[in-house]
Structure 1
């Protein structure tokens, strides 16, 4: 049975909170959009017929100023093409790596009242996602 994730699990979020908060972090985001966005009844975008991708664009537009204010930036972005290693029935629409000066900045962002309004667009947009924290490393011309 396929499992889908939109929000952090309590265990995953606790593990994130226990890591250092004062060093740069990279957050890998994998996104799979709904065909039709699913907004709650009464929301200003409910019934507009938006695609999941369009709802995610709205999330980017409304959360972007807060993301930038806390020092966030996108260091890589791409569109999924093929699963080379992994389950062949699993696919993503888009992926990106967000960089934050530390997890304290991430917490500042998600606690912001304007962000909490914006995140409704993300929830409406996605059927599945992954969010993974990495400690940034050095690039180079080798795998090791």
Structure 2
């Protein structure tokens, strides 16, 4: 597999911050879990033998209340099956689209101290991920 990504680079995060903050956003999340979660030494879940999927469940449980408080909701979720167009080594376990009322809500979430404790579970869980911002568009029959 090529290069992996868990957290945004400084340049990517600056580009995100430079976009409008007062309009709804969709965040495409693609997730590839570790076989065994990698928690920092001394963390309450270190040594429990959790899978990456189990650690991500914990992330969802602990970050979910903050996500909902800022107005976030999941608008689509799916389980990976195969790549139709793309690199042969591209694979994901799960994907979803999170909708936020605006980018400010996303910033509010990630700055929350409870979220900052919860995100350790995400980092422990993931081998690779993508987080891609989109401006929501209309749904319908055409492309």
What is the CA distance between 1:142 and its match in structure 2? 1.0
Q: How does 1:55-134 map to 2 (within 5 A)?
A: 55-134=55-134
How far apart, in 1, do the equivalents of 2:91 and 2:55 lie?
19
How far apart, in 1, do the equivalents of 2:89 and 2:96 lie?
21
How far apart, in 2, do the equivalents of 1:19 and 1:70 lie?
19
What is the CA distance between 1:101 and its match in structure 2? 0.4
How far apart, in 1, do the equivalents of 2:106 and 2:33 lie?
23
What is the CA distance between 1:2 and its match in structure 2? 1.2
Alignment RMSD? 0.7
What is the CA distance between 1:71 and its match in structure 2? 0.2
How far apart, in 2, do the equivalents of 1:82 and 1:91 lie?
7
Match of 2:48 in 1: 48
What is the CA distance between 1:90 and its match in structure 2? 1.2
What is the CA distance between 1:99 and its match in structure 2? 0.1
What is the CA distance between 1:87 and its match in structure 2? 0.6
What is the CA distance between 1:104 and its match in structure 2? 0.2
Match of 2:32 in 1: 32
Helix, strand or coil at the partner of 1:54: helix
How far apart, in 1, do the equivalents of 2:7 and 2:65 lie?
21
How many residues are treated as equivalent by the alignment?
A: 143
Q: Which runs of 5+ in 2 are unaligned?
A: none
State the TM-score, normalized to the length of structure 1: 0.98
How far apart, in 1, do the equivalents of 2:97 and 2:2 lie?
25
Helix, strand or coil at the partner of 1:78: strand
How far apart, in 2, do the equivalents of 1:66 and 1:136 lie?
22
